Structure 1
Amino acid sequence: MKNMKKKIVGILCLAMTVPMLATGCGKDDKVASKEDGIKIYIGTSIFDETLDPIKGGFSYGYPFINNALLKVNSDSKYVGDLAKDWKVSDDSLTYTFDLNKDVKFSDGSEFNAEDVVFTYETVKKNQADNENVDLTYLDSVKAIDDDTVEFKLSKPYSPFLDTTALLQIVPSDAYDSKTFDTQPIGTGAYKVAQYDSNQQIILNENENYFGKKPEIDKVTIVNMEPDSAFAAAKAGDLDLVMVGTNYADEKISNMHLEKLETMDVRNISLPVRKVSEEKNSEGKMVKVGNNVTSDIAVRKALSIGIDRKKIIENSSDGIGVPSVNFTDNLVWASTDTYEDNKVEEAKKLLDDAGWKVSKETGIREKDGQKCTFDLYASAGDTDRYNLCVAVAENAKDLGIDIKVKTATWDEIVTLQNTEAVIWGWGQYSPTVLSSLFKSDLFLTGGYDNSAGYSNPEVDSKIQEAISSNNQEEAIESWKEVQKLAEKDYTNLFIVNIEHCYFVNDNLDISLDTQIPHPHGHGTPVICNIADWKMK
Structure 2
Amino acid sequence: MFRRTALAAAALLAAGALTLSACTADPSTTPTATGTPDPNAEITVGLVLEPTNLDIRHTSGAALEQVLIDNIYQGLVTRTQDNEIVDALATGHTVSDDGLTYTFTLASGVTFHNGEDLTVDDVVDSLTAVKDDDTIIGHADFAGVDSIAADGDDTVVITLTEPNQNFLFTLTGPAGLVFKSGDKTDLQTAANGTGPFTLVNWTQGDSIEFARNDEYWGDKAGVAGVVLQYIPDFTAGVNAALDGTLDVLTAVDPTLAPQLDEAGGFTLTNGKTTDKGTLAFNNKKAPLDDARVREALRLAIDHQALVDTVGAGTTLFGPIPELDPGYEDLSDVAPYDPAKAKELLADAGVEDLELTLTIPSFYGTTIPTVLVSDFNEIGVTLTVQSVEFATWLEDVYTNHDYDLSYVLHVEPRDFGNFANPDYYFGYDNPEVQSLYAEALATVDPDASADLLAEAARIVAEDDAADWLYNGQTITAVGDGISGFPQDSINSRLNLAGVAVSSE
Which band: TM-score by shorter chain? 0.7 to 0.9
- Partner Cα distance (1:55, 1:230) in 2: 30
- Per the alignment, residue 237 of structure 1 pairs with 245
Counterpart check, 1:159 vs 2:166: yes
Match of 1:477 in 2: 451
Q: Does 1:488 align with 2:458?
A: no
For residue 300 of structure 1, report the CA deviation from its aligned partner.
0.6
Instruction: Note closer, same or farther for the CA distance 1:80–1:180 as it changes in structure 2 (3 Å cut).
Output: same
Q: Distance in 1 between matches of 2:60 and 2:153?
A: 25
1:324 to partner: Cα distance: 0.6
Aligned to 1:503: 477
Amino acid corresponding to residue 82 of structure 1 in structure 2 = L
Conserved? CA contact 1:468–1:474, under 8 Å? yes
Distance 1:33 1:405 in 2: 51
Q: Secondary structure of 1:297's match? A: helix
Question: Is the partner of 1:474 in helix, strand or coil?
Answer: helix
CA 1:33–1:144: 2 relative to 1, 3 Å? closer
Alpha carbons 1:171, 1:185 under 8 Å: kept: yes
2:148 is paired with a residue of what secondary structure? Answer: strand
1:328 paired residue among 317, 322, 329: 322
Provide, for residues 89-130 of structure 1, a one-character-per-residue CA deviation record: whole Å limited to 9, x for no partner: 233221111122222222222223212111111222322341
Number of the residue aligned with 1:262: 273
| RCO higher in structure (CA 8 A, sep ≥6) | 2
Are positions 1:319 and 2:324 aligned together?
A: no
Question: What is the distance in 2 between the residues matched to 1:134 and 1:292?
Answer: 35
Identity of paired residues, percent? 21
- Equivalent residues of 2:222, 2:496 under 8 A apart: yes
Q: How far did 1:272 drift?
A: 1.3
Partner residue, 1:459: 433
- The Cα offsets for residues 418-446 of structure 1, whole Å up to 9 and x where unpaired, read as 23111222344x3x12223312xx1xxxx
Identify the residue that residue 207 of structure 2 maps to in structure 1: 200
Q: Deviations over 1:505-532 (max 9, x none)?
A: 2322445xx4x417x4xx53x23x1111
Give me the whole-angstrom Cα distance separating, in 2, the residues matched to 1:345 and 1:257: 40
Output aligned runs, 1:374-413, within 5 Å: 374-382=356-364, 385-413=365-393
- 1:182 paired to 2:189: yes
Matched, 1:70 2:77: yes
Q: Which runs of 5+ in 1 are unaligned?
A: 1-22, 274-288, 356-364, 443-448
Unaligned stretches of 5+ residues in structure 2: 7-34
Question: 1:495 offset after TM fit, Å?
Answer: 0.5
| Distance across 1 between alignment mates of 2:452 and 2:183 | 37
Cα distance in 2 for partners of 1:115, 1:83 equals 13
Q: Check 1:499–1:394 CA distance in 2 against 1; reply closer, same or farther (3 A cut).
A: same
Higher mean alpha-carbon deviation, 213-222 vs 232-241, is at 232-241
SS of equivalent residue, structure 1 residue 150: strand
The Cα of 1:248 is off from its aligned counterpart by 2.7
Q: Deviations over 1:487-514 (max 9, x none)?
A: 2211110111111233322322445xx4
Instruction: State the Cα deviation string for residues 37-96 of structure 1 (Å, max 9, x = none).
Output: 111212123x33535346557557941111121122244321211112212223322111
Give the structure 2 partner of residue 531 of structure 1: 497
Q: Is the 8 A contact 2:330 2:457 kept in 1?
A: no
| CA pair 64-376 structure 1, distance change in 2 beyond 3 A | same
Q: Which amino acid aligns with 1:412?
A: W
Alpha-carbon deviations, 1:385-407, whole Å to 9, x = none? 42232222222222222222211
Q: CA deviation at 1:247?
A: 2.7
Q: Which has the larger radius of gyration?
A: 1
Q: Distance in 2 between matches of 1:162 and 1:112?
A: 23
Label 1:259 to 1:49 Cα distance change in 2 as closer, same or farther (>3 A): farther
Q: SS at 1:111's partner residue? A: coil
What letter is aligned with 2:265? N
The one of 320, 331, 349 aligned to 2:344: 349
Contact 2:79 2:172 in 1 (8 A): yes
1:299 matches 2:306: no
Alignment of 1:38 onto 2:50:
no
For 1:55 and 1:98, how far apart are their aligned partners in 2? 29
Preserved CA contact (<8 Å) 1:69 1:81: yes
User: Does 1:79 pair with 2:79?
Assistant: no
On the 8 A contact 2:125/2:181 being kept in 1, the answer is no
CA RMSD of aligned residues (A): 2.7
Task: Sort the Cα spacing of 1:413 and 1:245 in 2 relative to 1 into closer, same or farther, 3 A.
Answer: same
**8 Å CA contact 1:229, 1:241 repeated in 2:** yes
Match of 1:419 among 377, 395, 403: 403
- Contact 1:292 1:372 (C-alpha < 8 Å) held by counterparts: no
Shift of residue 347 of structure 1?
A: 2.5
Relative to 1, partners in 2 of residues 1:135 and 1:222: Cα closer, same or farther, differing over 3 Å? same
Question: Partner of 1:19 in structure 2?
Answer: none
2:128–2:148: 8 Å Cα contact kept in structure 1? yes
CA distance in structure 2 between the aligned counterparts of 1:157 and 1:378, rounded to whole angstroms: 34
8 A Cα contact 2:275 2:471, kept in partner: yes
Q: Is the 1:438–1:462 Cα contact (8 Å) retained in structure 2?
A: no
Within the candidate set 115, 119, 125, 2:126 is matched to 119
Paired residue for 1:48? 52
Identify if the C-alpha distance between structure 1 residues 249 and 399 changes in structure 2 by more than 3 Å, giving closer, same or farther.
farther
Q: Is the 8 A contact 1:127 1:134 kept in 2?
A: no
Any conservation in 1 of the 2:313–2:470 contact (CA below 8 Å)? yes
Q: Do structure 1's residue 247 and structure 2's residue 264 form an aligned pair?
A: no
Aligned residues: 456
CA contact (8 A) 1:506 1:534 kept: yes
